[in-house]
Structure 1
Amino acid sequence: MSSMSIELTLNPEKLEAIREMDPRVQSYNIEMTELTGGTFWVPYTPEQISGEEAFPTCDKMEDMMKMLAGMQTKVPAINLYDEKIRSFAKAFGPVVIRFSGSWATRTYYDFDGHTGGKAPEGFEFVLTKEQWQGALDFVKAVNGQILVSVANSFGVHEDHTGAWMPEQAEILWKYTEEQGMKIEYAEFMNEPNMLNGMCLPDGYTLDDYGRDYDLFAKWLRENHPETKLVGPCSAENERGAAAGGMAALLLGTEDIMKRCKEAPDYYSYHSYNGISERGQMFGAHFDFDAVTSEYYLGATMEDLHYNETIRDKYAPGAEMWVTESADAACGGNTWGPTFVETIRYVDELARFNVNTKGIIFHNTLASSAYGLLDADTHMPRPQYWGALLYSRLAGTTVYDTKEEIREGAHVYAQSRKDGEKGFCYVIINNSREEETLVHVPACVQYTLSADSLRSQEIKLNGNVIASGEDGTIPELKGEEKEAGTITLAPCTVTYLVVGDER
């Protein structure tokens, strides 16, 4: 054993229950632009994903803005009837599916076909009845619930300059209810910290936003009380402000909440560990060498605690919903589709459950570099398998392991999903060099690894996980271990299922 290795002893008898987590904690986004077809990020090249080719950088903000403008490409509407995407999505179990994104702020609902697909003045995109029906059918097929954010572009404002009007939103609710379904949750406007470039009325201010948020909240509660209000859907955090760049120019979340009289039922915010290479001049970008570090992995907890302070003041008692989360804003980093993202994903999920009760909506299910599934093939990325094992193995009771989080030893514990007495440990060795030795009772081991951190293949107990091209999910079988010592290699994610001998 290296002198630097960490040695752990699991003591199930000392675990103390903290809380019951929301079983829908692993939820996800399907961007509005995916439903309608539109624009999204140009995919990275295979060489950029593997790290063989550096992503181009620039030194001037104006150059980066020009570069960003060229990084959008047209994408077709997603086919949510595809059996492969349905199979992989359904395997998660119960979820809330969020249909939103900045595109939703500017989308017109045309459910009678009168626009011919051309957005009217005051909007930029069109959602058809057929596209929304596809979303409803998908939600039903995967045992999901719905969260939407609604339009707030100048087309939904009185005379294009005045107060927000509900006619467009009513189209969405009415049609959904006519299909025997309901919209369980709703946000008003996606990321109100950024009011520029969202097709809003000229001179739109935070005071205008507060007025319109309250109008929406009152309309929702008076006309559709079965739908719960989620907000403020903010994207601002202390890390971005400290990093400078454009991230420091975001409007403050507390400044937003001060102007809103209607408290949300669920407090929502967005939390990315950083900003991708595409937007690194915005600030808060992490290089690849840092993405297994303690600071990087702990970034989302900083966001949680920052927002909890605001929640306690303006929506006390509301659960915390992270309605967008992934490795990086601006479409994800080049390494988003690779194994290393599994470490971040599982660590955020397990640590979130220790610290609070709520839901994390991964952005996205199947688009850009941060998608759980590849946008073109709908085949799973490595992080999907880390997520699926968490869903299959970890029950809803969350325990305090009494282990300090430190490099090589991120140790979490929950009850067993199979209903048997016992526990499911999640142990992440985020060290790139040192092994972690764990003294364990008899258990079943599931260790996820890869030949390299930027591999697009993932292994379970040393064997490559290969799903069928038709969406068939292979057997994910653990390895039985007698009581003793197991060695966890550097940069691995391990689930250990143990019995309860108490």
Structure 2
Amino acid sequence: MIRKGIYCVCIITMLASCNKTDKKDSEKQPAINPKEMKQIGTVSEYYQSYNVEMVEVIGGGFWKPYKDMKALPTAQSVSTYNVSEKNPDLYQELKPIDLTNKRLVNMAKGLGPAYVRVSGTWANSIYFQDNDLPPAPAPKGFANVVTQKQWKGVVDFVKNLDNKLITSFAVSNGVRDKNGVWTPVEAQKLLDYTKSLGGKIDAAELFNEPTMPTAGGDINPKYDANNFAADVRVFNKWAKDSVPNMLTVGPSSVGEGSPTVTLQGVGMTILPTEALLSAKPEAKFDVFSYHFYGAASIRMMQSGPFTIKAKDALTEAWLFKTDTVETFYAGMRDKFMPGKPIWITETAQAAAGGDPYSATYLDSFRYYTNTDL
């Protein structure tokens, strides 16, 4: 696990030196003494963090495991992706996760201290049922429900591990005023209940992936950059007044920056980050955030530039894709929020639940650390 020291070590050279060599070759190998290495920088102890999807907390239709699929869907493409679709070929019912499970808690301790982000597409249209009754159907303007008991599980999990909580709030039609502008009605309920449990929301993204605004449920299909700017203005004022110690994080963009493929190129509509941050009043956050998925899983696409096969998992083009996208979003940060930290708040091997090899050792090489301090 990466902690506070970063040392100038070429991992590839070290691995190569482990290959079998004859005596003559081995005598030429440079000696590496870690005690003589110079520390070149530090990272936060929260540098390596993780997500718990909102759908895992509340339960619901989620990506069907490959072992439960009789066959891959035919003629399925990313252009037909809709998270609210009830497609039995792609989704199956997921039970709420037990965040008190001892094995889970013990393993999570090994990842701490960390920011625990509880968000995802399902959070965009989440209704907080502020009572101790069993879950009721989502009210009009929402698609999902989180209960007091479920949210208490989140707060207790974070507190017991001495971690920090990141979330995002409902942005669907159920929280909007007559002019279609976001209101903090649901965010305030969630904040008040979190405080009542002795917890806190340390950081929050208003909107999970506003570059794909309609993917998460009941929201105006004509949502645009001007709507986003108006929403963020209200969000920032509410955050400053109601929870001044909470970091505001955004824009939480996804789907841009790759020179080899764009989501527009495979049929999805993208609201560009440039547009989101150019609209007036300009959206500003304490932290610039983005998401990165280098491919779509074979549940959605079996071929094309937005896929990745196991045989290509160690290619330079694949492994450095994340750097290319980071460079793009760092440019957006430098243009609109210079000097702000930049966080990648959601990532995985492939969108739509990952490919079969994502749970194997082969995928571990994708984990890449940019040490350009």
TM-score clears 0.5? yes
- Report what 2:205 is aligned to: 187
- Report what 1:286 is aligned to: 308
CA RMSD of aligned residues (A): 2.9
Selected match of 2:223 from 181, 187, 204: 204
> Per-residue CA shift, 1:152-189, capped at 9, x if unaligned?
00000014x52111111100111111222210000011
Greater Cα offset, 85-94 or 259-268:
259-268
- What SS does structure 1 have at the residue aligned with 2:187? helix
- Report what 2:318 is aligned to: 296
> Per-residue CA shift, 1:121-158, capped at 9, x if unaligned?
00011111110101111111222100000000000001
Asked if the contact 2:76/2:300 (under 8 Å) is kept, the reply is no
Between Structure 1 and Structure 2, the one with more strand by share is 1
Unaligned 5+ residue runs, structure 1?
357-502
Selected match of 2:272 from 247, 252, 264: 252
CA 1:76–1:2 in 2, change beyond 3 Å: closer, same or farther?
same
Task: Write the distance in 2 (CA, Å) between the matches of 1:69 and 1:30.
Answer: 23
- Report what 1:263 is aligned to: 284
Alignment of 1:461-480 (within 5 A): none
Task: Write the distance in 1 (CA, Å) between the matches of 2:325 and 2:267.
Answer: 14
> Per-residue CA shift, 1:445-484, capped at 9, x if unaligned?
xxxxxxxxxxxxxxxxxxxxxxxxxxxxxxxxxxxxxxxx
Q: Determine if the alignment matches structure 1 residue 337 to structure 2 residue 359.
A: yes
Task: Write the distance in 2 (CA, Å) between the matches of 1:56 and 1:202.
Answer: 27
Alignment of 1:75-154 (within 5 A): 75-113=94-132, 116-154=135-173
- Report what 2:92 is aligned to: 73
The alignment-based identity, stated in percent, is: 31
Asked if the contact 1:245/1:282 (under 8 Å) is kept, the reply is no
- Report what 2:57 is aligned to: 35
Q: Determine if the alignment matches structure 1 residue 231 to structure 2 residue 253.
A: no
- Report what 2:15 is aligned to: none
Asked if the contact 1:102/1:190 (under 8 Å) is kept, the reply is yes
CA 1:341–1:68 in 2, change beyond 3 Å: closer, same or farther?
farther
- What SS does structure 2 have at the residue aligned with 1:217? helix
- Report what 1:320 is aligned to: 342
Unaligned 5+ residue runs, structure 2?
1-19
CA positional deviation for 1:68: 6.2
- Report what 2:327 is aligned to: 305
Task: Write the distance in 2 (CA, Å) between the matches of 1:273 and 1:64.
Answer: 16
Matching residue's letter, 1:271: F
CA 1:120–1:343 in 2, change beyond 3 Å: closer, same or farther?
same
Alignment of 1:283-432 (within 5 A): 283-345=305-367, 348=368, 351-352=369-370, 354-356=371-373
Task: Write the distance in 2 (CA, Å) between the matches of 1:250 and 1:241.
Answer: 16
* Greater relative contact order structure (CA < 8 Å, 6+ sep): 1
Task: Write the distance in 2 (CA, Å) between the matches of 1:108 and 1:189.
Answer: 14
How many residues end up aligned between the 2 structures? 344
> Per-residue CA shift, 1:223-251, capped at 9, x if unaligned?
11010101110002222773564366322
Task: Write the distance in 1 (CA, Å) between the matches of 2:244 and 2:53.
Answer: 25
CA 1:137–1:298 in 2, change beyond 3 Å: closer, same or farther?
same
